[in-house]
A = this chain, B = another copy of it.
Amino acid sequence: MPESKPPRTLKHATLERLMHYYHYIGEQIAQQSMGTVSSSEIAKLLDTDDTVVRKDMAAIGVRGYPRVGFKADEVLAAIRDVLGFDNAYRAIIIGAGRLGSALASYPGFSRYGLRIDALLDSDPSRAGAIEGGVEVRPLDELESIIEAHNVGLAILTVPAEAAQPLADRMVNAGLRAIWNFAPTSLVVPSGVLVRHEHISVGLAELAYHLNRRDTKEASE
């Protein structure tokens, strides 16, 4: 019997949803030991359509069982596999401000195969402190830490002005990806992957819809 062949490249929208599935199914499985979950069940909880869920499952090569649903462990395994949760990435956080500390203590990362090795801060007096189980190190150890721990990803939570120079240093030290929480864009060589997390894009959407609702009410 020929196995279904998952497509080579996952689409952006699918990727975004996979993490939601992973989270939700993981939670459910912990609570009630539920071995199976239906597409419509997932869909209702994530406020989407059941067809979408089935298509996503197909995309990561998971098959469902009619009248039963999908086996939770199969789904989780497939997501772990396709997202590479098992080849643990080493990461560091730059900037031990409130956001950096909050991220350092976020328990989700370790579940997703991301290991935070250090939290760097420009204020040397903070070195040695522990934030969320991670040691704070002075910023001038940046290069040596990247090389010593074979760090692939840096999480940037510094003020906007500091971001670009730091990015340059890290790229030089051999870093391959940057998760940028600083409110500014970064210029990097083409081999390096940057994901820019801009908190206020969410705000834009909220503001727009809140506003539209108001004017609609007013004109009706």
Contact = CB atoms under 8 A, between A and B. Distances in A.
A163 to B, nearest CB: 13
Contacts of A185: 24, 45-47
Interface string A136-176: 00000000000000001100000000000000000000001
Contacts of A202: 179, 195, 197
Nearest to A82: B208
Interface in A64-98: 82-85, 87, 89, 97-98
Nearest to A152: B210
A183 interface: yes
Contacts of A16: 201, 204-205
A59 B42 CA distance: 35
A4 interface: no
A41 B83 CA distance: 34
Contacts of A84: 207-208, 210-211
Contacts of A45: 185
State the oligomeric state as a number of copies. Answer: 2
A207 B152 contact: no
Interface stretch (A49-57, A106-114, A120-128): A106-114
B15 A208 contact: yes
Interface of A: 10, 12, 15-16, 18-20, 23-24, 27, 45-47, 82-85, 87, 89, 97-99, 101-103, 105-106, 108-109, 112-114, 152-153, 176-177, 179, 183-185, 193, 195, 197-211, 213-214
